[in-house]
Structure 1
Amino acid sequence: MLDSKSKLILTSRKTVFMEAKRFTFLNSFTYKVFDLGDDENELTKQDKLSILSAYEIDINPLEQELQKVVGESDVFHMFPLLCKLFSTNLEYKRKGCSFFKEPYPIIMKHLDEMEKERRLFYAALVLCMLNEGLISENVLDTELVPKKTIYRCCKIQSSTDNWEIMEAVSQMVGTYLTECDGEFYFVHDLLFEIVACHFGKKCPKEIIDLMTSEFISQRLTLEDKQEEGFLTIKISEREYNKLAERLYGDLKNLKLYSVFDSEFLHNEKIGDHFLSLLSRDTNIDIKDFFLSLNTDFKDYTTMRMPNKKTLDSTEELHFNMKMLIEDAGKVFWFYEDEEFGAYSNNCQIRLISWIIAFGHNKILKYIVDQMISRNEELEIVFGKDLMSQTRCLVLACYSKNPDIVKLVLKHTDPTCRNMNTHQEEESVCIPMYKLITPLTLSILLESSDILDIILDEEVNVNAFGVTCLSPLLIAIYRSDLNTVQKLVAAGANVNQCSCDEFPLIVGSMLNNTEIVEFLELDRDKAEPQEPADGTSKTENEKEHLPYHS
């Protein structure tokens, strides 16, 4: 029994832990969090040598070469597992140091041999993988895993008894599996990935049907992609329709990031079949499904990053854009163990946001055309108020898709070109995603095509409002000479002061001679000015900028 002096140690995958951070009950279990994936907790060379010793691996015969390999930390995110496999498999031992240098092809080759010569064992691993890394007699007695399908894929008798599978499972304890109270698990999460990808290369249809939407979006790649890693599954063109059907099913289950934030729908054949499924589905009303507010969304975004990272990190910019996609009512920040993070909540989502933000122009045009054919006002697509329209325009810029941006510009108020989604009644600590205008986002994304489109709209290149820094200063801080030149050509004042900073002084401070020389040519063309809104920004506001050092 636990008492006041008891200490409870829990282990969890990081993705599961981050999702659970939303729930207050977890606070009782997070007095101290130790992240094995953190750079500061990375295994040292001495740690690895100690692990080798713990598995009674004799390094003396290959001491010099092995010492060198052990020092190469970038190939050892699963070093303890490699040691375990090495110590229990004679074939791996014969490989010597080459096993530690390139473990994936060796393990994949071993699975190839198992698939051909020990089919029951291979089928057992696949069944374990399909049940999220767990297998037991109870699992096999239920319909949790599609045994008949897997038996057919693995070429074993459909009449195979459960006890035969469990006998194979028990013989893999200590190598691929570990046991706890009659349940068997992979000895390492990475084995789940390896078995899934090995099986998927031979049976992609079953992977598309059976795996999670997250796995499909992360591990599947299309036939026209030249590179294929060991932990990816290349899908041939004959599977494209099936993949489109799976994506359409995930859409109806609101797996929105897995569906839209992936390469798949940008493929013409997959995208066209997906759109044909949508157009033929009589159970979905376009207006209600894509354009109405939805509060059932559960796939909230979570971000966690080391505190040492600067706030102009790509990770934070994309996180904040996802907050805008979700139209998050609140963003909760937390700080612990020298890391900070955030997650969204109280979201009032519209599915159209994902379509705009991830650049699905054909789908967006289809929805617009449907509303026009129904004689609906297009305000229902892009919003009736200026804030909603501005939000759509910023998301369009985030997509980096010129056609999306042009379509949104065509159907939104021109005032939105110079706006962000901040409302005056909100507090001083404004989330960054509410500060970004279409112009500033095109600069932050270094998207020349989108910047050109926005500048063609005759935006005020000297306005910055609550964002504190002028667009010109943002470009200078990013050492982006091309953008600086475009802004000045569009009328940016090289002598304008914002946040008590002048463009020429900042360029000099950053030792960017090209920008300084360019600015010096224009510095006498305008008199120094105060900030456009006549206000002085606080240091607190500066700290919340994605582009301020």
Structure 2
Amino acid sequence: MSNSKFKLTGENTNLARVAQMILGPCANVLRDVLRKEISPSNLETKVRAYIAKTKKPLINQHQERLVYSKDYLKFDVTLLYFLLRNMCSIQPHSNKWGNNPHPGDRSVSGNIERIRLIRNEYGHNSERSISDIDFKIKYKYIKGIVRELENYLGSSTKYQDEVKELKTCTMDPTQSEKNIKELLDLNEKIKDISGDVEEMRKIALPWNLKVIYEKDVLKWKEDDSFFVETHNFQAMLDKVRQQPFVTFVGVPGSGKTATARHIAILLHEKDGYEILPTRDINNIEMYCDPRNPQVFVIDDVLGVFGFDMKELEKLTNYRDRLNEPTMPKTKVLMTCREVVFKHEAFSGSILSNKKQVVQLHSEENALNDQDKYDLFAKYNLDKDLLSADTLSKISKSFPYLCKLFSRKEELGHYGQQFFISPVPCIMELLDIMKIRNKIHYASLVLLMTNQNSLSEKKINKDDTTYFREMKFQVLKRCKVDPTTCSFYFIDALTEMEGTYTEQSQSEFKFIHDSMLEIIAFNFGRHFPELILQYMDSDYIANYIKPGTYKCRKRKREEDELEQSVNAKENSDTVASEEYVHDLCIKLQESHYHLLADRLFEDIHRGELFNVFENEALKHPLVLQKFLDVMKSKPYSELFTLFLSALKKEVKRGKKSKKKKFHSKCYKLLMNSKWNDEDGDLYTCVRAIYWVIFYGHNQVLQFIIDQIKENTNTVNDLFQTLFNIRSDDFCTTVQGTDCNKRNESDIDENSSGRCDVSEDESWSDLCSEKSVQSFGTEPVFIEKRRLLNLSCYSGDLLTFQTLLPYCDKNVLLSESWGQIYDDYYDDDNYDDDDEEEEEEEEEEEDEEDWNISDPPIVVANENITSSKDYLLIVAC
């Protein structure tokens, strides 16, 4: 735009003055209002919270960058209006935000709105002049707005004085041209913002997640430079193109994640797919774009340490979305550890179809010799390390080992042995580190005990007593001064990036899940008490075992370790016999009481699968310690924990070695039903179900003994939210009504009943329901539930423990099926389509049973010994 077009005359000077008033005093007074409402240091937090809540930004990327710069002087009127309207507590004017305020409305929001409207008036107007009459009106109008906002601020009349000065001051032609141009450019800015918002509305993925995912994919592409397309890679890619979802199965470090990511990158680059590296199967439905092809990538879809029943249930619920995505071209790529894939519950699941599985260690996909040489070459490793004899013995984790070997010079000392048996090599390095680089070792342990997530912010803040205590205990065991500055730990984690750790979004985590397990074993074999205290329930269930040997004393072990470090550094061999390759921590008997305490605490946390499926609880000495813990608790606590409806969500575990976990068994445990009268779903889950289902007959017997001792009946064993009003319950020997007692009525010497959950009595809860039939379910339904669970346990003693409290009708009657069908909806558990392959049909035949079968039938199916079955019949 040429200068001649903006040569100042009387009327375009008026426009220049108005432009300067809007861009100067008006914008400045809005900045001060914003500063009064939100300090610059808090603005970013407010904006991020708003965007997270609304799921889409209403500002463009340029404006977003301005916001995060926290420099209010760079904010224009459009951005200031957005922030004042959406981020502040300013009440809207009488006509609401976005509308013309009433002439008599002199509120703060009304005046903010007026500045926006004046700004827009000239942004939409192509006229480049204002008459003298109109200028006088506009001047008076603007001055009034500024005056009222300054009154709100309680400041001086600085901005009013600027407006007054602009009315008559000499105008600089160059500055005037700039101001007029900026004012008239608003129309284009509004179009740009409108276009951005409209485009955002069409995008299924929230913009903030999109940014995070793009950063993740960028990191993937860096790592992908080391990927080798193996001899059978094309067949894997073809399978992905043909199927809506594919699961890659392999041991840790075998390259299953790298393969899934490489294929996702190929689909993105060649076919325009959008990559979504999500962690939750639910996101497939939430963020699926019906117009554009996407590829979802989910790591460890059914659990990291072991099998996760919760995730399998999710997958089952979303089977239709997986098989028939909204966008037909959309793909879902999942990874699964081999140990999880071999779990019995996996068989017959939606992921078990061979057409949709890539097993990296199968005959067709396993690395051949050329693949191994190609990987070595990709990492610039000496191929002479791979002798013919070595190639046949190489670990299945070879791809990860190549990466680790190339980045850790110390590993060169082990040569080809590292690729055959890597865990002992890493263990020796950690043993050296704990002596030579204590802070590095302590940093890894802190990362491990903090559940594989640690940041500078977390260490600096020490914001919880739990974290402070954990840090103190870890540093004490690692012989590091607890007052050591946090930046030493962050520096150590940074130095170990690429070998032991990696960093994303300012958070450190282990470079591979297997590294967490190795660190936990290396530290935990010496200090199991901290592992039991701080590791999560899934780890406890999978990696803590009762020991069968007596370990050396810790002090002696540490002394010998320090003395042997130099020898290990110079040794040419690996003393593999000193290490347990399953990475399970074997407890000494002196620690069994700590394990029992932890298991009891985990019941409080809702970790019922991880507790009662844990084989350690059936170890005689551990079981005795667990019973000792139970004996130390008052009956009211035992009732709340085992017999009342759980308040917390049951967390489904990641381990199951013996049972094929049927969905209908799961339904027996979860005990939910719809009530047709009010249309609500009610759930009454009790820990006693897990005690019975997993065959803990001694725990069951102890609970029954406690019920009888404290109530003189066994009603508490069978009473639930659904039968609290049933007429089937007897009264106590004292003649009081069993259903009217509160938890407060019970003390250690009381023999009365307790029909309450943690916070309120069940009878009170039922009385709040408007549904008259609520709580009137026949008691024999619950008796049959418990008896059937005992049958599915396969444990005869558990069945025999319950049997005396169930009459013949409970054992033999088939009438429950009709009642049960009225309560429960089995739609989600239909048989698979007839088109499934024959081998899948055979697997389904094994599940040919009915949830409402009488216990005598269930016992015949599940307690397989003919001798045991005859005992049942005799009973």
With the length of structure 1 as denominator, give the TM-score of the two structures: 0.68
Aligned to 1:323: 667
Counterpart residue type for residue 173 of structure 1: E
Bigger shift: residues 289-298 or 388-397: 289-298
Structure 2: runs of 5 or more not aligned: 1-60, 62-199, 204-271, 278-297, 342-356, 551-578, 675-680, 720-777, 831-848
Q: Provide the C-alpha distance between the structure 1 equivalents of 2:404 and 2:826, rounded to a whole number of angstroms.
A: 55
Write the deviation string for residues 366-388 of structure 1: whole angstroms up to 9, x where unpaired.
Answer: 22222222344324314663332
Contact 2:613 2:655 in 1 (8 A): no
CA gap 1:121/1:448 in 2 versus in 1, 3 angstroms: farther
Contact 1:321 1:433 in 2 (8 A): no
Counterpart residue type for residue 615 of structure 2: E
Write the deviation string for residues 13-69 of structure 1: whole angstroms up to 9, x where unpaired.
Answer: 424697578599997999532123375152631565544333223334525234424
Aligned to 2:588: 236
1:95 has 2:431 as partner:
no
1:262 has 2:262 as partner:
no
Aligned to 1:465: none
Q: Provide the C-alpha distance between the structure 2 equivalents of 1:85 and 1:14, rounded to a whole number of angstroms.
A: 25
CA gap 1:150/1:288 in 2 versus in 1, 3 angstroms: closer
Of 616, 623, 627, the residue aligned with 1:275 is 627
Aligned to 2:529: 205
User: How far does residue 91 in structure 1 lie from its aligned partner after superposition?
Assistant: 4.0
CA gap 1:448/1:399 in 2 versus in 1, 3 angstroms: farther
1:434 has 2:851 as partner:
yes
SS of 1:221's partner is strand
Counterpart residue type for residue 279 of structure 1: K
1:398 has 2:792 as partner:
yes
SS of 2:442's partner is helix
Q: Provide the C-alpha distance between the structure 2 equivalents of 1:438 and 1:97, rounded to a whole number of angstroms.
A: 59
User: How far does residue 133 in structure 1 lie from its aligned partner after superposition?
Assistant: 1.5
User: How far does residue 399 in structure 1 lie from its aligned partner after superposition?
Assistant: 3.0
Contact 1:291 1:380 in 2 (8 A): yes
Aligned to 1:423: 818
Q: Provide the C-alpha distance between the structure 1 equivalents of 2:417 and 2:693, rounded to a whole number of angstroms.
A: 45
Aligned to 1:389: 783
Counterpart residue type for residue 455 of structure 2: S
Q: Provide the C-alpha distance between the structure 1 equivalents of 2:659 and 2:438, rounded to a whole number of angstroms.
A: 43
Of 151, 162, 183, the residue aligned with 2:486 is 162
Aligned to 1:297: 649
CA gap 1:300/1:166 in 2 versus in 1, 3 angstroms: closer
* Mapping 1:114-513, distance limit 5 Å: 114-143=433-462, 144=467, 146-224=470-548, 229-282=581-634, 284-294=636-646, 296-300=648-652, 316-317=660-661, 320-329=664-673, 347-382=683-718, 385-418=779-812, 422-423=817-818, 425=821, 432=849, 434-436=851-853, 437-444=855-862, 446-448=864-866, 450-457=868-875
Contact 2:646 2:684 in 1 (8 A): yes
Bigger shift: residues 284-293 or 146-155: 284-293
Contact 1:393 1:438 in 2 (8 A): no
Contact 2:401 2:419 in 1 (8 A): yes
Q: Provide the C-alpha distance between the structure 1 equivalents of 2:580 and 2:413, rounded to a whole number of angstroms.
A: 27
Q: Provide the C-alpha distance between the structure 2 equivalents of 1:329 and 1:261, rounded to a whole number of angstroms.
A: 25
CA gap 1:48/1:456 in 2 versus in 1, 3 angstroms: farther
With the length of structure 2 as denominator, give the TM-score of the two structures: 0.44
Contact 1:355 1:363 in 2 (8 A): yes
Structure 1: runs of 5 or more not aligned: 305-312, 331-344, 458-549
Q: How many residues align?
A: 430
1:34 has 2:361 as partner:
no
Contact 2:718 2:782 in 1 (8 A): yes
CA gap 1:433/1:229 in 2 versus in 1, 3 angstroms: farther
Q: Provide the C-alpha distance between the structure 1 equivalents of 2:318 and 2:787, rounded to a whole number of angstroms.
A: 39
Aligned to 2:301: 14
Contact 2:541 2:655 in 1 (8 A): no
Contact 2:375 2:402 in 1 (8 A): yes
SS of 2:275's partner is coil
Q: Provide the C-alpha distance between the structure 2 equivalents of 1:358 and 1:83, rounded to a whole number of angstroms.
A: 43
Contact 2:603 2:611 in 1 (8 A): yes
Larger Rg belongs to: 2
Contact 1:400 1:450 in 2 (8 A): no
Contact 1:129 1:192 in 2 (8 A): yes
CA gap 1:442/1:98 in 2 versus in 1, 3 angstroms: farther
Contact 1:140 1:162 in 2 (8 A): yes
Counterpart residue type for residue 537 of structure 2: S
Contact 2:792 2:858 in 1 (8 A): no
Contact 1:401 1:450 in 2 (8 A): no
User: How far does residue 285 in structure 1 lie from its aligned partner after superposition?
Assistant: 4.0
Counterpart residue type for residue 597 of structure 2: E
Write the deviation string for residues 99-152 of structure 1: whole angstroms up to 9, x where unpaired.
Answer: 222222221222112112221111111111112222221121133462211111
Write the deviation string for residues 179-221 of structure 1: whole angstroms up to 9, x where unpaired.
Answer: 2343322111111111111111011011111111221111100
Aligned to 2:429: 110
SS of 1:134's partner is coil
User: How far does residue 412 in structure 1 lie from its aligned partner after superposition?
Assistant: 0.5
User: How far does residue 167 in structure 1 lie from its aligned partner after superposition?
Assistant: 1.9
Counterpart residue type for residue 254 of structure 1: G
**Percent of counterpart pairs with the same letter?**
24
Q: Provide the C-alpha distance between the structure 1 equivalents of 2:443 and 2:870, rounded to a whole number of angstroms.
A: 57
Q: Provide the C-alpha distance between the structure 2 equivalents of 1:158 and 1:29, rounded to a whole number of angstroms.
A: 54
User: How far does residue 80 in structure 1 lie from its aligned partner after superposition?
Assistant: 2.9
Contact 1:327 1:349 in 2 (8 A): yes
CA gap 1:206/1:375 in 2 versus in 1, 3 angstroms: closer
CA gap 1:393/1:241 in 2 versus in 1, 3 angstroms: same
Counterpart residue type for residue 401 of structure 2: L
Q: Provide the C-alpha distance between the structure 2 equivalents of 1:259 and 1:236, rounded to a whole number of angstroms.
A: 19
Aligned to 1:337: none
Counterpart residue type for residue 36 of structure 1: T
Contact 1:35 1:41 in 2 (8 A): no
CA gap 1:82/1:438 in 2 versus in 1, 3 angstroms: farther
Bigger shift: residues 425-434 or 81-90: 425-434
CA gap 1:422/1:197 in 2 versus in 1, 3 angstroms: farther
